[in-house]
């Protein structure tokens, strides 16, 4: 089966991040790639509005791309029923060249496991002659194992409760040794057969291809004694009959070391080293058996395949990225710190939106996006460029909005008004939603800086929420070790931003914006772009400190 390629934007995704992921996954699908759009954060109200408007579902949440048990090339072994015989289990192992079988119920739920060593041990330790009784061995197992013909009786009346005997003496001499419910192996002597039935045998088995005489069969029927005939000689019959024991009697049921298919490889290594079994069963959340893994399988693990959009910095990407294979990066931000082990396709251009790049790739491949995809790509560009008011806007963004809006049959200006109105309603959001609306982490030298941004003309609600937002930001700063935490509340109409900030390095604000750090809220006219204005200003300020 072809590997899944996950396509994702950054943490705390904005509209551009989500829309470009959905659109690129569809394009990849048309190009023959099994691509799936995912998200690594909650969608914001603006993005939710866009997806609902065009009738599309949000991508599924992907918590991590760390290697899991499901990424291993595990051994797929069909489960067997707990009532099959030891001989049948051994035959299955030999036929498939395996040494372990999962035992499951009718829906596939793991009940236990049986290994070749379990069978060997049971055979070597079979000193008791009442093992068939103790294990409640069904009649069908005995007939199958001995390839016997059922002459008289049935499963319903087979209630053997004794031991297995061989009638190796004269009829009168064997009677004291036979108890009710015993299984007696005998030959074709009529008197021996009759005496065994009279003595209370629950089952008589004629060996060496012998026949049970009519008189003995009639008596056996009266006394509910099962009659079998087998072509095996007496020694072979005696050797094989214990192999009819159901595997439920010898299988391992308790203290099974198993792994869930969603377990991370890092977390199972220690368990493997401590137990050192040959192999381990793998189950899902419903305890349904999925296969077996061994230490060897850890070498052959498959890394998840991923394409990163709208970011290329490790702090902004999905957890476990170092254990995944990055196939492509498509972005319009500064070059970050993500590393790959081999060359990849890296598209990075100075446009206002990743959606602009994805839309361009459709047309470059001679394809036109569907109405819905064109709509969300257009929305992604409008969102990231503030409907072309941001200094990040380029001629390419303008041209792409024009093309896509025609395909989607929308008026870009009217659509942007509705979209921004939904996304700017601060009064309806919690402080957490406001900060995480479009939040990104950055690493500048020794400084860890977090910057959130939200568009709003709802300044009245900002004033009301300012203190609670700052208080929440201070907690986040302390818990996550930020040097500086900032929130840009961008006024689209006045084309400026209110910047809230806190952190142990608030003094940087003076270097960055030439503002007094003792105030947690400042307004900056003409500052609307985090990417093209704020980030370069921070980089320059920190660089000046080190020179």
What is the mean pLDDT of the segment spanning 526-531?
88
**Same domain, residue pair 324 and 361:** yes
Considering only residues 371 and 160, tell me which one the structure prediction assigns the higher pLDDT.
371
Number of helices (H), then strands (E), in the chain = 20, 21
Q: What CATH number is associated with residue 56?
A: 3.90.1640.10
Q: What CATH number is associated with residue 161?
A: 3.40.1390.20
β-bridge mates for residue 366, sequence order: none
Under 8 Å between Cβ of 161 and 144: no
pLDDT of residue 158: 81
Q: Single out the residue of 210, 383, 396 nearest to residue 310, CA to CA.
A: 383
263 pLDDT more than 90: yes
Task: Write phi, then psi, for 357 (nearest 5 degrees).
Answer: -65, -45
Q: Within 10 Å of residue 438's Cβ, how many Cβ atoms?
A: 26
Under 8 Å between Cβ of 451 and 440: yes
**Same domain, residue pair 390 and 539:** no
Residue 445: inside a domain: yes
pLDDT of residue 2: 66
Residue 411: inside a domain: yes
> Average pLDDT, whole number, for the chain?
90
**Same domain, residue pair 418 and 439:** no
pLDDT of residue 485: 92
What is the mean pLDDT of the segment spanning 406-433?
89
* Per-residue three-class SS string for 101-123: EEEECCCCEEEEEEEHHHHHHHH
pLDDT of residue 113: 94
Q: What CATH number is associated with residue 498?
A: 3.10.310.20
Q: Single out the residue of 243, 241, 246 nearest to residue 82, CA to CA.
A: 246
Residue 385: inside a domain: yes
Residue 129: inside a domain: no
What is the mean pLDDT of the segment spanning 63-68?
92
Q: Single out the residue of 487, 490, 486, 500 nearest to residue 528, CA to CA.
A: 490
Domain boundary among 232, 264, 299: 299
Q: What CATH number is associated with residue 114?
A: 3.10.580.10
Residue 499: inside a domain: yes
Residue-wise pLDDT tens digits, 282-297: 999 999 999 999 888 8
**Same domain, residue pair 327 and 386:** yes
Cα within 13 Å of Cα(56), Cβ side: 25
Domain boundary among 244, 261, 277: 244
Under 8 Å between Cβ of 511 and 544: yes
* Per-residue three-class SS string for 447-472: EEEEEEEEECCCHHHHHHHHHHHHHH
Residue 1 pLDDT class (50, 70, 90 cuts): very low
Residues 482, 473: Cα–Cα separation, whole Å: 10
DSSP 255-311: S---EETT-BHHHHHHHHHHH--S-EEEE-TT-BEEEEE-HHHHHTPPPPEEEEES-
**Same domain, residue pair 184 and 46:** no
**Same domain, residue pair 224 and 368:** no
**Same domain, residue pair 190 and 269:** no
Residues 316, 448: Cα–Cα separation, whole Å: 12
Residue with the two structure tokens 């070597």: 124
**Same domain, residue pair 312 and 402:** yes
What is the mean pLDDT of the segment spanning 506-525?
76
The alpha carbon torsion through 418, 436, 47, 11 (nearest 10 deg) reads 150
Q: How many domains does the chain have?
A: 4
pLDDT of residue 517: 58
**Same domain, residue pair 222 and 148:** yes
**Same domain, residue pair 170 and 83:** no
Residue 127 pLDDT class (50, 70, 90 cuts): low
Residue-wise pLDDT tens digits, 186-212: 999 999 999 999 999 999 999 999 999
Under 8 Å between Cβ of 534 and 542: no
Residue 130: inside a domain: no
Residue with the two structure tokens 């700052």: 470
301 pLDDT more than 80: no
Residues 519, 517: Cα–Cα separation, whole Å: 5
pLDDT of residue 287: 94
Residue-wise pLDDT tens digits, 311-345: 999 999 999 999 999 999 999 998 989 999 899 99
The pair of structure tokens assigned to 534 is 């704020």
How far are the Cα atoms of 31, 76, 309, 315, 407 from residue 303, in angstroms, in the given order? Answer: 22, 19, 19, 20, 38
Under 8 Å between Cβ of 206 and 188: yes
Residues 234, 223: Cα–Cα separation, whole Å: 24
**Same domain, residue pair 151 and 59:** no
Residue with the two structure tokens 């137990």: 275
pLDDT of residue 518: 59
B/e letters for 399-422, b = 16+ CB within 10 Å, e = fewer, are: ebbebbbebbebebeebbeebbeb
Residue 133: inside a domain: no
What is the mean pLDDT of the segment spanning 502-519?
76
Q: What is the share, in percent, of the chain residues with pLDDT greater than 70?
A: 97
Residue with the two structure tokens 């079988």: 101
pLDDT of residue 547: 62
- Name the residue range of residue 170's domain: 138-244
pLDDT of residue 170: 87
pLDDT of residue 52: 97
- Burial zone of 395 (CB within 10 Å; 0-12 exposed, 13-18 middle, 19+ buried): exposed
Cα 495 vs. chain centroid, distance in angstroms?
Answer: 45
Hey, is 408 helix, strand or coil? Answer: helix
How far are the Cα atoms of 21, 305, 419, 434, 492 from residue 387, in angstroms, in the given order? Answer: 20, 34, 10, 21, 9
């Amino acid at each position: 089966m072809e590997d899944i390629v996950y396509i994702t934007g950054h943490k705390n995704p904005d509209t551009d991040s989500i829309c470009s992921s959905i659109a690129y996954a569809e394009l990849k699908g048309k190009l023959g790639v099994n691509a799936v759009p995912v998200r690594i954060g909650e969608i914001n109200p603006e993005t939710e509005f866009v997806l609902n408007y065009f009738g599309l579902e949000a991508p599924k949440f992907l918590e991590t791309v760390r290697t899991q048990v499901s990424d291993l090339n595990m051994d797929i072994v069909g489960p067997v029923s707990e009532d099959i015989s030891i001989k049948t289990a051994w035959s299955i192992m030999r036929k498939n060249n395996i040494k372990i079988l999962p035992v499951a119920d009718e829906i596939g739920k793991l009940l236990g496991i049986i290994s070749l060593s379990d069978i060997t041990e049971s055979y070597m330790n079979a000193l008791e002659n009442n093992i068939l009784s103790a294990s409640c061995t069904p009649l069908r197992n005995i007939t199958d194992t001995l390839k016997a013909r059922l002459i008289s009786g049935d499963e319903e009346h087979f209630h053997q409760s004794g031991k297995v005997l061989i009638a190796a003496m004269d009829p009168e001499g064997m009677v004291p040794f036979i108890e009710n419910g015993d299984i007696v192996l005998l030959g074709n002597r009529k008197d021996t057969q009759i005496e065994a039935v009279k003595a209370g045998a629950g089952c008589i088995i004629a060996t060496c291809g012998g026949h049970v005489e009519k008189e003995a069969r009639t008596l056996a029927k009266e006394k509910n004694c099962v009659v079998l005939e087998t072509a095996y000689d007496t020694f072979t019959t005696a050797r094989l009959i214990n192999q009819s024991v159901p595997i439920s009697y010898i299988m391992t049921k308790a203290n099974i070391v198993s792994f869930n298919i969603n377990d991370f490889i890092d977390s199972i290594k220690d368990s493997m080293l401590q137990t050192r079994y040959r192999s381990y069963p793998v189950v899902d959340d419903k305890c349904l058996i999925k296969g077996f893994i061994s230490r060897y399988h850890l070498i052959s693990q498959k890394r998840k395949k991923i394409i990163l959009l709208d970011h290329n910095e490790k702090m902004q990407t999905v957890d476990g990225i170092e254990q995944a294979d990055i196939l492509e990066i498509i972005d319009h931000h500064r070059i970050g710190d993500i590393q790959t082990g081999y060359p990849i396709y890296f598209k990075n251009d100075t446009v206002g939106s990743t959606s602009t790049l994805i839309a361009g790739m459709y047309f470059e491949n001679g394809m036109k996006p569907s109405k819905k995809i064109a709509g969300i790509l257009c929305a992604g560009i409008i969102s990231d460029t503030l409907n072309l008011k941001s200094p990040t806007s380029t001629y390419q963004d303008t041209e792409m909005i024009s093309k896509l809006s025609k395909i989607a049959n929308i008026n870009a200006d009217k659509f942007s008004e509705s979209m921004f109105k939904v996304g700017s309603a601060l009064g309806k959001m919690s402080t957490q939603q406001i900060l995480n609306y479009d939040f990104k982490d950055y690493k500048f030298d020794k400084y860890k800086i977090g910057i959130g941004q939200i568009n709003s003309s709802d300044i009245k609600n900002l004033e009301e929420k300012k203190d609670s937002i700052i208080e929440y930001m201070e907690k986040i700063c302390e818990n996550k070790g930020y040097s500086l935490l900032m929130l840009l509340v961008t006024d689209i109409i006045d084309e400026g931003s209110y910047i809230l900030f806190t952190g142990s390095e608030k003094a940087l604000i003076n270097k960055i914006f030439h503002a007094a750090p003792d105030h947690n809220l400042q307004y900056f006219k003409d500052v609307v772009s985090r990417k093209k204005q704020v980030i370069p200003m921070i980089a320059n300020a920190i660089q000046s400190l080190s020179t």
